[in-house]
Amino acid sequence: MPNKNSSFIPMAIIGLLFFVFGFVTWLNGSLIPFLKIICELNDFEALFVTFAFYIAYTVMALPMSFILERVGYKNAMALGLTIMVVGSLLFIPAAMSANYLIFLIALFVLGTGLTILQTASNPYIVLIGSKESAAMRISIMGLINKGAGVIVPLIFTALILSDIGTIDGSASVEQISTLASRLIEPYIYMALTLSALVVLVKFSPLPELEFTQDKNSDQHTSIFKYPQAILGSIALFFYVGVEVIAADTIGLFGQSLGVENFTSLTSYTMIFMVIGYILGVLLIPKYISQEKALLSSAIAGILITIAIVLSSNTDTLILNTPNSIMLVALLGLANALVWPTIWPLALDGLGKQTARASALLIMAIAGGAILPLVFGKLAEVSGDFQQSYLILIPSYLFILFYATKGHKLKSW
């Protein structure tokens, strides 16, 4: 295991990768209303963007964990970046044809590359220092990740939508063609950047992790004998679902309310997540434990969700934005510390089962594929976008259970 005194360079390199995670992932929030227009989709169809991207984590996580065990963490990260280069290049034919199926395939390939990157990098950050401060280190990575999430919708709106005018369902054929073609150049730059990162990671001084088994734990041969890992993956399933709903539906919600620049609203959610991560860096573990941070996050999520469904769409809070929109963005604050706190609690004492446990936790990212689709279907059937946010409450309740009891279970 890397020495604490020599962990700066690995932290810096992994931090760069987390910025890439954020840039690629949170671009989806801007892509959804954008593709809804150029591919002429309804809300439910548009949310297949999240499904195609996040379902890759479930389909590919276990195969990628075997690759990880075989080639090591460093080589696996380089492989993941290479796969992402391929996914980025697929956006070129997708944009040229404005074909939604090709867009979805490209998103699935990007998600596949991110799967192996996430499977390798998250346990790396957990195990590179003391377990008590693991949530703080992940919070630093989250701060970088969500910082990218603040920037990317603004860049997308500035580069893709500039000089186009207000886009809506009545956009002309010429306007749609121009919008689609503007995706080509950014994804070429993304492919070139990812290619450079492949070289950086491949020839970097990242050390391999060495695992030791907790002397006080049974050395089970199956990961399914560790309740804290299994329940942790379920908690992450619900968490990623609510995180993606908060970030990726806010644009559609704003569009339905006639908010200007609705493609940039994801930045609002990311800003609140950045604030949450800053609090995590400052407070964990000196002032608040990982368990209490997770408990507080779950309670905050429940209270904010209730406020969303009861709030007004006419009164404004700031930036001429409806209160309901700002409350959806505020979910970012409630969500920020859930991922950083679940990972160390779920991986505690797993030793050589860490890679398999990490794969299970990464598979749980499927919550980002499934729950937004449930949300979209509910909004379509009910005709009430705002009330559909009620589906977040059961998710936060399970996270609350994991914070209070689930992570403490060491046997079934």
Q: What is each CA distance from 272 to 43, 268, 334, in whole angstroms?
A: 25, 7, 8
Domain membership flag for residue 180 = yes
Task: Identify the CATH number of the domain in which residue 127 sits.
Answer: 1.20.1250.20
Domain membership flag for residue 2 = no
Q: What is the mean pLDDT of each run of 10 residues along the chain (412 residues)?
A: 58 86 79 82 85 86 80 86 94 90 94 87 77 81 80 76 55 73 85 91 77 52 83 95 90 81 80 89 87 95 94 63 87 92 86 78 86 90 89 96 91 76
What tokens does 378 get? 């509910």
Domain membership flag for residue 216 = no
Domain interval for residue 368: 8-207+221-408
Beta strands in 97-180 (DSSP E): none
Distance CA 406, CA 403 (A): 6
Domain membership flag for residue 305 = yes
pLDDT of amino acid 259: 78
Which residue type is seen at 344?
A: P
Domain membership flag for residue 215 = no
pLDDT of amino acid 4: 47
Residue 173 CB-density burial (10 A; 0-12 exposed, 13-18 middle, 19+ buried): exposed
pLDDT of amino acid 216: 47
Domain membership flag for residue 214 = no
Domain membership flag for residue 147 = yes
* pLDDT tens per residue across span 341-377: 998 899 887 777 777 788 888 888 889 889 998 998 8
Domain membership flag for residue 213 = no
The alpha carbon dihedral of 294, 300, 305, 308 has a sign of negative
Cα 389 to chain center, whole Å?
A: 18
262 C-beta neighbours (distance < 10 Å), count: 22
* pLDDT tens per residue across span 46-60: 888 888 988 888 888
What tokens does 276 get? 């949450």
Distance CA 50, CA 48 (A): 5
pTM of the complete model beyond 0.85: no
* Structural domain count, the chain: 1
Q: Is 355 left (phi over 0), alpha (psi -120 to 50) or beta?
A: alpha
Of 359, 411, 372, 385, residue with least CA distance to 61? 359
